[in-house]
Structure 1
Amino acid sequence: MQSPASTLFTDSPIVVALDFQDAQQALAFAAQIDPTLCKLKVGKELFTSAGPQLVAQLVDNGFKVFLDLKFHDIPNTVAKACEAAAKLGVWMLNVHASGGSAMMQAALEGTSKGSTGTHTPYLIAVTVLTSMNQAVLHELGVEADIEQHVLRLAQLTKAAGLDGVVCSAQEATLIRQHIGQDFLLVTPGIRPSFASKDDQSRILTPSQALAVGSNYLVIGRPITQAADPLQALHLILQEIESTSV
């Protein structure tokens, strides 16, 4: 099924979070949507259940896959994990910026070593999870406010040579001001105007997130739990287009 929405973007900003329990559910969902309209994110639950075989199958089916495993370990271990992930042909993968410069640089080397195609996977770092708020940071001993802590981690990520960060869209403006345009911002916690907030604390609509500088928008339940996922995807793309003209 095609619609006018499929012509709106040469590179769709939407990354659909495959928050399913097993490969059967994930593949059934993927069969309902168009890989030219979105990317797919495979996270910890699904990867633990289905393994790398699912990632390879999604890639073979024409999808760009963001492998969201948030590696955080000693540099050598992270390097080898990123190398293995890159060999699967993923489009993007990530680590935790709080792992530090040496770990992130090792991750970059591993990603480059494992790359098998013309595109070396984008490597990005997680700053502060969108489910976290100021009280949680204080509980962890971080006295800086969320925005400054995110900026510090984003600057560390840029200095390490990575492609960008995962951050709340609410911090995107600050990162753009201090780091510039040549840095990917991938933002979860995105909810279209017709969807509920669920368990996210810091959210924006897709149009708002793009307007403040986000490059890619991670959206899960508003699409995956829709009665018609492809229609929901079309509606979000149309909502973005209608507010950008």
Structure 2
Amino acid sequence: MANLKKNGNLSGAIGNIVFVNDGDRIFVRLKPDSVKQSPQTKAAAGVFGLVSAREKTFRLKLLKELGIPALQYFAARHRARIWKTIIGNPAISPRFGDPQGLTGFSFNPKAEWQSCTNFFPEVERVSNGEMKVHLPELKWKTQIIPPKNCRAAVLTLFAMTSDLNSPSVPLKVLSKIEMEISATAAVSAREWRIPVEPPAGWLLIVGCVKFNTTHHATTVQQQFSATYLWAGLTEE
């Protein structure tokens, strides 16, 4: 609806025509076309909101456990991976049910896991609910590949469960092992046993290596590498 102002100009709209005042001048333009959303676009928007909320809750809890910072573009890349875990028809009842797509995701694009390490843990399911992870011998500059000016590193492996289908996104660390590695201190091969507590949704094994360097403290946050080494469901 258009209104007559004290200066004689019109403001507001009549039908598809909009009156725009700029001081003593008045302009007329057409209303912009409204965007009509289809049921599909509305459903996609709802799924995006769900993924964004659950991913953020999960990510903040995960980073706290790993003790690593969130680098630039980390959230968007991680959210894209979480989106890929949705199974079924997302427009009807989206569920986070395929965590295997997370495997290999790099938490630090400036120090990707495959460029900093050269070992592959072997995961074995045990009938009594346990999991066994077979780790090879780890040697400096062979299985652990350090950046320049680095003399030692701490490798930590986490086994944890999480359920993104729960609004609170609970995350629980089942077990973790920490190993110090340097040129004079290799780590012998070992077997890591993990108790599994179904049903708890996802079962994740995350690796994080932090390098001790002589660089200034402002660059320390770049001196780590982390990834999902294995991802599956607890009831498998």
TM-score in terms of structure 1 length: 0.20
The structure whose residues are more often helix, as a share, is 1
Structure with bigger gyration radius: 2
| Structure (1 or 2) with the greater strand fraction | 2
